[in-house]
Structure 1
């Protein structure tokens, strides 16, 4: 991120210089504006010095102040991360639960109408962009809320009138549909692989019911599914939250990063990047621990 920032043109500075030139500033004044801009942001120093200082500040959690607002970056990123987690975490739990259940059902009913119907819905969710689903959810909820409002005069519903609906419930629904398609597809594929295995046939021979078979199949498929779910979640945090928070006007980590990019607010951009990278590192540790619980043959203590 730091290298990308240094390699790209500073459109904020270019816009400021263009406005000054339009106002009649001479070359000396333009150079003075440029030097003042770089000095205020600490960008007049060598890149190596800037990077070393940033590494030290990241370790000490002294992430500096935002170029745009002047606020401390660490509390700003922390609050935005918590705001995003309030709808992402419930959605991950809901999508994983529903995805495993629907995927196992589709795998055990491959040739049935219901199984094919579940698979068709999954591919439909894959095909529809999540921002379009968000627009449909937003429009439908506003129409429904207006329909139940007392009075004969129609008024549009704003986000501030129903903050819990627009800031929590609808984003959870959108994130769930975004993750659900991938989880169902993966769960169905891996469950089909284990559904015809000899161990599964042994469970049936011992009198195990459909629930016992599904539990056995999902337990064996859990390890590859865990990695795939984690990868989808990381992609969600890196890309999809920007779209989701733009649609619903949520002040989370996605909107914070989006605004920081457009204003070239380097401290905020780097702070958000650190959070996403930290999630990836912690997620890998959690995966290793989960592997040992799901499969006793995996020995994490010897690593």
Structure 2
């Protein structure tokens, strides 16, 4: 993206109060060598909104630590538009969630059989409301598969806590099923991103004759940093159960991204 070198100059010049970005843009902000004077003293920019791809809590924390700016986790789909509000200026706000549903939306978490799940149980997010779409163009069959009893089945996984705050944990289609255990690649990426040497990371499942799938994590290192796969695995063991530890770690120069800067996970599978 062309404005990264003068990003903060633009914020100051035009008195920008709000910015939306994808996670890879925030990663870039962390690694462009700005002078501290470039971003200190910015008063009008209240917070940053981030959407289009999973937002790691560690990334939210790093942006706040470096720039003093909180990052809202924006959730919504093409079929719904925004459905939740994560508002960092609330007094009791903490990073990590997608917030509470809009008043216009009913949102539930269900299991594979369509049963409602309780607090802190991970399942599929389903959404109903006047902002939910009414059909796919010339494809009623697909629409009937994803909209049941008025609820759009998002294909997203998440849970809600006792306060009605929702959390996104990953996409159903991205789940890795290793030895019969469902594993969210985003959970692994979140841990690996804690390593200081890591600029970006993405985890995928690949076919395995014995286990069904095995776990491969691709890592882009920060400039001038070194890291080996065993150190990554040892670090993961502090936070993840045995079956979630990557089977292989590969270091690459960059991750494939679309025009918006969103990482294209499916290309890694190819």
TM band (smaller chain): under 0.3
TM-score by length of 1: 0.23
Task: Tell me which structure has the larger Cα radius of gyration.
Answer: 1
The structure carrying a bigger strand percent of its residues is 2
Higher relative contact order (CA 8 A, sep 6+): 1
TM-score by length of 2: 0.25
